[in-house]
């Protein structure tokens, strides 16, 4: 990771015995580990940041193969926040909160400092008239790859959740 990113990013990790989130997305009795990060609006920082975050997630989530779906959805959401939300304004930041539950569930909230958008107004990229368009696939990919995707605050906040793997030992102790 670049020195600029290390300087610009604020990384906090919390290990808690109870989730104290106000959001109903989190079960109040589940244990979790959380990471909070703040990134500058620079697309060159997305890959090293997501690589680092995926190493963190992989410590707590056992998935068949790898966690490719989560990784791709994260990349799309963060790039959208930087490019479309913050208009690549270097004074604006992207805030990322990630929670890994002990059962393997992963919840991520990404917030930009832009004015938002109407997620229901994005054309379906799978329809024949939109297949050759160069934009409009990020939200579709996020919704396809994650179990839940919700937009709030006029589209400037996205919540994504990937449930624990059913029928597998989804809990792994940190190394």
Its pTM stands at 0.77
What digits encode the pLDDT tens for the residues 117-129?
887 878 787 888 8
Determine the pLDDT at residue 175.
45
Instruction: Output the CA–CA distances (angstroms, integers) from residue 49 to 42, 98, 162, in the order listed.
Output: 11, 13, 19
- For residues 14 and 100, is the Cβ–Cβ distance under 8 A? no
Contacts of 44 (CB under 8 A, 6+ apart): none
Nearest-angstrom CA–CA distance, 74 and 56: 13
**Direct distance between the N- and C-terminal alpha carbons of the chain, in angstroms, rounded to an integer:** 21
Across the chain, how many H-helices and E-strands are there? 4, 6
Determine the pLDDT at residue 13.
42
What digits encode the pLDDT tens for the residues 61-103?
877 666 999 999 999 999 999 999 999 999 999 999 999 998 8
Q: Does domain 3-17+31-162 have CATH number 3.30.200.20?
A: no
Q: Which two tokens stand for residue 165?
A: 């793997």
């Amino acid at each position: 990771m670049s020195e600029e990113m290390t300087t610009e990013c604020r990384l906090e990790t919390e290990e808690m015995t109870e989730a104290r989130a106000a959001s109903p997305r989190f079960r109040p009795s589940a244990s979790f580990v959380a990471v909070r990060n703040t990134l500058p609006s620079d697309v060159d920082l997305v890959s090293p940041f997501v690589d680092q975050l995926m190493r963190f997630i992989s410590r707590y989530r056992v998935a068949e193969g790898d966690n490719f779906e989560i990784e791709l959805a994260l990349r799309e959401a963060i790039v959208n926040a930087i490019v479309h939300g913050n208009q690549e304004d270097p004074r604006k930041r992207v805030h990322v909160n990630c929670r890994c539950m002990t059962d393997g569930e992963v919840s991520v909230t990404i917030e930009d400092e832009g004015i938002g958008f109407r997620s229901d107004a994005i054309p379906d990229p799978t329809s024949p008239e939109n297949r050759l368009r160069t934009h409009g696939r990020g939200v579709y990919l996020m919704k396809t790859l994650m179990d839940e995707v919700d937009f709030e605050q006029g589209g400037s906040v996205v919540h994504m959740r990937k449930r624990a793997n059913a029928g597998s030992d989804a809990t792994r102790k940190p190394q």
